[in-house]
Amino acid sequence: MILVTGATGNVGNPLLHELQQAKMPYRAAVRDPVQAAQRHGNHPWVKFDFQNPDTYARALEGVNQVFVVLPPGQGSLKVRMYPFLDHCAHRKIEHMVYLSLLGAPQNPAAPHHQIEKHLQNLPLTASFLRASFFMQNLMTTHREEVIDGHLKMPAGHGRTSFVDTRDIARAAKQLFKHPPSETRGYDLTGSEALTYFEVAEILSRELGRNIKYDNPGLFEFVQHWRQKNTKWDFIMIMMVIYTTARLGRAGRVSTDLQDLLGTPPTTFAEFARDMQSCWPPRIQTQEKNHALQP
Ligand SMILES: NC(=O)c1ccc[n+]([C@@H]2O[C@H](COP(=O)([O-])OP(=O)(O)OC[C@H]3O[C@@H](n4cnc5c(N)ncnc54)[C@H](OP(=O)(O)O)[C@@H]3O)[C@@H](O)[C@H]2O)c1
């Protein structure tokens, strides 16, 4: 039995579908099972909160493998994560697949670096999925920019090896299906590294309308997000991510994903085609919003 945390998220949710299709037994861990069922349909939901140890025992009943997602947010890992990871080791969980970050081993400031180290010291096998920047960020954080036709990431001409979270979910399923005998990391990237000029070109082609990369400086970027009342800590995280890309450090391409899947990773063009209904032209969005008003 596999316990999936982050089960309503970018990676956990497609993983539920993968496991369901493969008829592999799983349980979907969320803070609010009723809301999750309403929004995400029929899965074996169980109440779970990393920060509430009272929820661990029931979620882990009969479980031997766990998918772990560090939820976005701040705060000490000793409170947010380690109690659950230690509890898993205590319950003799055999294999944990942890959603980490590309470059985590070389980046001691990242929480993923510390969590990987913590897991390496526990008596279980861990698979670290070191994922590159998600294509799905264009459907969430940057959705309005795509709809408006102006991408505003301060990444300059830097390249990013975008990865589709559906591929990460498929890779996790493979690792649950064939659990490795040793702890190791997998660098999960797409097969190409793109600049945001190229991203804008692909989106324009696939969506059939003009989408431009504005190539803003950091000051303009901060102004844009402050106008939306975005919290400073989130703006800071985005600045780190896009400065990394600007400096040419987000473009590394690895074959680990293809090795795990046995097929090439999803390209950005395929992703844009599959998800095009997420970015309706602005006129439709306005009509939709208008229709919602009393
Ligand atoms: N975005 C990227 O480009 C990127 C790239 C590499 C790695 N990552 C890493 O990916 C992780 C995020 O994964 P994601 O995007 O799939 O998740 P996500 O879409 O941000 O969703 C967060 C998930 O965490 C759950 N959650 C929040 N607080 C919780 C708590 N206290 N206890 C239990 N569950 C809780 C939420 O579930 P409920 O609210 O339903 O309970 C939700 O399913 C982060 O660690 C990030 O650093 C992101």
Domain 132-164+189-252+262-276 has CATH 3.90.25.10: yes
Residue among 45, 107, 109 at smallest CA distance from 77: 109
pLDDT of residue 284: 56
Mutate to test the pocket of ligand 1, among 3, 16, 31, 60 (most ligand atoms within 8 A of CB): 31
pLDDT of residue 292: 41
- Which residue carries 């439709």 as its tokens? 284
Does the fold of domain 132-164+189-252+262-276 match that of domain 2-131?
no
Parts of the chain with a pLDDT under 70: 284-294
**Residues 250-274, buried b or exposed e (16+ Cβ, 10 A)?**
bbeebebbbebbeeebbbbeebbee
The residue type found at 99 is L
DSSP the chain: -EEESSTTSTTHHHHHHHHHHTT--EEEEES-HHHHHHHH-SS-EEE--TT-GGGHHHHTTT--EEEEE--S--S-HHHHTHHHHHHHHHTT--EEEEEEETTGGG-TTSHHHHHHHHHHTSSSEEEEEEE--BGGGGTTTTHHHHHHTEE----TT--B--B-HHHHHHHHHHHHHS--SS-EEEEE--S--B-HHHHHHHHHHHHTS--EE----HHHHHHHHHHTT--HHHHHHHHHHHHHHHTT-B----SHHHHHHSSPPPPHHHHHHHTGGGS--HHHHHHHHHHH--
- Quote the ligand 1 centre to 252 CA distance (angstroms): 23
Tell which atom from ligand 1 comes closest to the C-alpha of 71: 24
* Edge-to-edge strand list for the sheet holding 2-4: 45-47, 26-30, 2-4, 65-69, 95-101, 125-131, 184-188
pLDDT of residue 290: 42
CATH fourth-level superfamily of 2-131:
NAD(P)-binding Rossmann-like Domain (3.40.50.720)
Q: What is the pLDDT of residues 1-40, one digit of tens each?
A: 999 999 999 999 999 999 999 999 999 999 999 999 999 9
Q: What is the pLDDT of residues 177-205, one digit of tens each?
A: 999 999 999 999 999 999 999 999 999 99
Tell which atom from ligand 1 comes closest to the C-alpha of 70: 45
pLDDT of residue 282: 83
Domain boundaries, the chain: 2-131, 132-164+189-252+262-276
Which residues does 190 contact at the CB level (< 8 Å), separation at least 6? 132, 135, 161, 162, 163, 164, 167, 253, 257, 265, 266, 267, 268
Pocket of ligand 1 (CB under 6 A): 5-12, 30-31, 36, 48-51, 69-72, 99, 101, 131, 133-134, 137
| C-alpha to C-alpha distance for 252 and 256, rounded to whole angstroms | 12
- Quote the ligand 1 centre to 66 CA distance (angstroms): 15
pLDDT of residue 164: 98
